Amino acid sequence: MPDSKFILGGQEIGLGVNMTINLDLPKLYNTPTQLPVRVIRGKRKGPIVFISAAIHGDELNGIEIIRRFRKLNILKRLSGTLILVPIVNVYGIMTLSRYLPDRRDLNRSFPGSTKGSLASRVAKIFFDEIVQKCDLGIDLHTASIHKSNLPQVRTNIDNAYTFNLAKAFQAPVVLHSELRDGSLRAVAQENGVPILLYEAGEALRFDETSIRIGVHGIVNVLRENGMLPKVVRKTPRKIPIITRSSKWIRSSESGMLRTIKALGDTVEKDEIIAYIDEPLDNKSFEILSPFDGVIIGKSEIPLVQEGDAVFHIAKFGNLEMADDKIEYFNEDAIESSEFYELNNEDIIE
């Protein structure tokens, strides 16, 4: 949609303009509510991309990723248009809740309706005013409450365009993800807007590594998409683990979870990854890995009930290669010199 005329919220925004627009949302007990949206337009025409966070109101990493991203000097060299929505679920974040006040999941309410539930009405506004105007979306998430995710990009790896962008993001893992009915990604794809889903960290917490990988990943995607100038690379591009299959391992017993393996660890088939201990007895039950792979998600609360999801393992056969790849993504994986590049135009080709 490389058009010099761009309208959002009834306002026309010209090339080279950076402004905030507040979209009206349904009132909450007659209290006016708005959705703040930052629009950044480059001086040159190009694709239109939205970056959203906090569709679930307790997922905070994405808010900080967008805050840091929008301050980068490299955006002065932008071609095209960015629509930044750091808090989509403005109701949920006020109560630190994943859901809206009607107890519905906004990410199962798309495309929405003007006459439906509160969640459906918010979804309709966000989808019509923002998503449908775009060529690409990047949606930022964390794990659900009391769980944590290794930084990962989820997309359809059978789509050459999104697969290439997912690899360019340079998160540790690229995971093939099927579409879910009512999700933003499913409905957007039906309407011709591909979306990358970035999952990293834990609900209600900031994770510095996840945030830094997220900021740099967005820049990488925009560079690959021709919206930001590229740099001469001082180090080779990081190659993520790519997998089509993953599985949540569920607890077979109730008790206290004692983990042996951590997020990002490789595990072999039938290897012990945790124990469940009975608090008033000496009994312990083993949790085994069902296949070779990498732990990309885990429970962070030691109390578990029978049937609780406790480990998310991505299937990956070459464990030595997986170990080598994961090593790139420790806390020092993104060096300060790389962020210097993002804030100093003179070294950009």
Closest CA to 29 of 126, 137, 101, 119: 101
Question: pLDDT grade, residue 345 (50/70/90)?
Answer: very low
Token readout for 165 is 């962008």
Q: Which helix (H) or strand (E) holds 277?
A: strand 272-277
343 burial level (CB within 10 Å; 0-12, 13-18, 19+)? exposed
Please give the residue that has the higher pLDDT: either 73 or 345.
73
pLDDT at 211: 96
Is the pLDDT at 331 greater than 70? The verdict is no
Question: pLDDT grade, residue 347 (50/70/90)?
Answer: very low
Please give the residue that has the higher pLDDT: either 331 or 292.
292
Token readout for 329 is 């993504």
Where does the chain have alpha helices with state H? 61-69, 90-94, 118-129, 160-169, 184-190, 208-224, 319-327, 336-342
CA distances from 189 to 23, 132, 155, 169, 184 (A): 24, 10, 11, 19, 8
Domains in the chain, start-ordered, CATH in brackets?
Answer: 6-238 (3.40.630.10), 245-327 (2.40.50.100)
Q: Which helix (H) or strand (E) holds 136?
A: strand 136-141
pLDDT at 322: 87
155-158 contact pairs (CB < 8 A, 24+):
155/194, 155/195, 155/196, 155/197, 156/189, 156/194, 157/242, 157/244
pLDDT at 344: 55
pLDDT at 161: 97
Gap between the Cα atoms of 81 and 323, Å rounded: 38
Question: pLDDT grade, residue 341 (50/70/90)?
Answer: low
Q: What is the dihedral of CA 51, 56, 57, 62, to 10 degrees?
A: -30
Is the pLDDT at 217 greater than 70? The verdict is yes
Is the pLDDT at 76 greater than 80? The verdict is yes
Mean pLDDT of the chain: 92
CA distances from 121 to 26, 56, 94, 113, 182 (A): 8, 16, 18, 5, 13
Q: What is the mean pLDDT of residues 144-153?
A: 97
Is the pLDDT at 332 greater than 60? The verdict is no
Q: What is the mean pLDDT of residues 225-235?
A: 85
In the numeric block, the tokens 């090593």 are attached to 327
Is the pLDDT at 2 greater than 90? The verdict is no
Token readout for 119 is 């969640």
Helix-strand-coil percent breakdown of the chain, rounded to 5? 25, 35, 40
Question: pLDDT grade, residue 340 (50/70/90)?
Answer: very low
Gap between the Cα atoms of 306 and 309, Å rounded: 9
pLDDT in tens, 23-58: 999 998 888 899 999 999 999 999 999 999 999 999
Q: What is the mean pLDDT of residues 3-17?
A: 90
